[in-house]
Amino acid sequence: MKHREIRAAVLSALKENISERVSWFDGRPVFIDEQELPAVAVYLTDASAADEFVDEGTWEATLHIEVFLRAKE
């Protein structure tokens, strides 16, 4: 699976199971406006070629699911 396919699959599964109003981000947002909270971001980091298979284009990365909530005063 490509990175965008992985993120899309994870976002789809989350959306099916979270019924509350949430802003969804495919990738880590640089800035989130207060009106967009609560928000969930799905992104991958640290992508690198896996050395397990020499003849295949196998990659590994860290999947992040980040939740942004309003701060309580």
Which tens digit of pLDDT belongs to each residue from 30-65? 999 999 999 999 999 987 777 766 556 677 889 999
- pLDDT score of 53: 61
Per-residue H/E/C for 6-40: HHHHHHHHHHHHCCCCCEEEECCCCCCCHHHCCEE
Domains assigned to the chain: 3-68 (3.30.70.1700)
The bridge status of strand 23-26 relative to strand 39-49 is parallel
Supply 73's token pair.
């005063």
pTM above 0.85, yes or no: no
